[in-house]
Amino acid sequence: MLLVKNMLSILIPAYNEEKTICELIRQIKDVDLGPVTKEIIVVDNNSTDRTHAVCAEIPGIMLLTETAAGKGAALKRALQEAHGEYVIFQDADLEYDPNDYRAMLEPLLTGKADAVLGVRIEGRKPYGFIIYVFGWLGNHLITLLTNALYGHNSKEYEGCYKAFKKEVLNSVKVHTNDFDYDNELICKLLKRNYRIVDVPIHYYPRKYADGKKIRWTHGFLILWTIVKYRFVD
C-alpha cells in the first residue's frame, strides 16, 4: 500500500463504546495538526451495544469490523487499511486528550525518533485506592522489566498513545491479539534498535463501572510477553 505523506492514521479499537465514541471523534477532528492531515479509522471489535450504528452515522471516518476478539486484533485490522505516513493508537474512551497528538508527532516529523511512547504524567487521578495501588505497582514492574531486559530507559510503556512511522510498524510481525499487543510490538522494535522516545501526555482514568476494559489479570499476560519476546521473535 502506498503511504500518503504528512498524513496521520488514527487507529481506534472500539468495543461497546457508544457513550464516548462520538465525542472522541469530535475532539480528534477539532485538533489542528498544521500540514499533517488525519485519517480516522474505527474498528468495531464485536460490540454488543450501538457502537457500530453510531459510528456508521459519523462522516469522515473509516469504519471497519473485526470478529477476532482483542485490542491487538482490532489494531491489526486497522493497520491493513491505514494510508498514513504516521500512525497513532487511540482508545475509544475519553481517558486521553487528542490535543497531545502534536507533541506525539513532533519527534517523528523532525526525524528524532522512529516511535514515540506517551507517558502519563499530568492529570492522573486515583479511581479507587486498591485498584490504583495495584495498577501503579503493575505499571512500574512492567516498566522496570522492559527496561532491564531490552536495555532501554522509558518511563512508561502502558500509556495508550503510541505513535510510529508506518514503515516501522510494517517491519515487524506481532502475534498476540490481546492487550499485550503494544508490549510485543515495542519489545520487538527495541530488539531491532529503533529509536524510541518518551513524550508526556494527559490522562483522565475512568472507572470500571464506566466501561474500563483492562483487568489486573492482563498484567500477568503482559509480563509474560515481555519475557518471552526477549528470547524469541
Residue 48: DSSP 8-state: S
Per-residue pLDDT band at 131 (split at 50, 70, 90) = low
Mean pLDDT, all residues of the chain: 92
Distance CA 185, CA 32 (A): 28
pLDDT above 80: residue 207:
no
Task: Please report, for the chain, the start and end positions of each structural domain, with discontinuous segments joined by +.
Answer: 4-231
Per-residue pLDDT band at 2 (split at 50, 70, 90) = confident
Per-residue pLDDT band at 1 (split at 50, 70, 90) = confident
Q: pTM here?
A: 0.93
- pLDDT for the residue 4: 97
Beta-strand pair 115-122/37-44 = unpaired
- pLDDT for the residue 205: 85
> Which of these, 174, 145, 193, 147, lies nearest to 79 by C-alpha position?
174
CA of 32: how far to CAs of 29, 38, 129, 138, 229, in Å? 8, 10, 37, 35, 38
CATH class of 4-231: alpha beta
> Which of these, 156, 160, 126, 151, lies nearest to 139 by C-alpha position?
156
Q: Please work out, in degrees rounded to the nearest 5, the angle formed at the alpha carbon of residue 206 by the alpha carbons of 216 and 200.
A: 90
What cell does 135 get?
495498577
Beta-strand pair 84-89/62-65 = unpaired
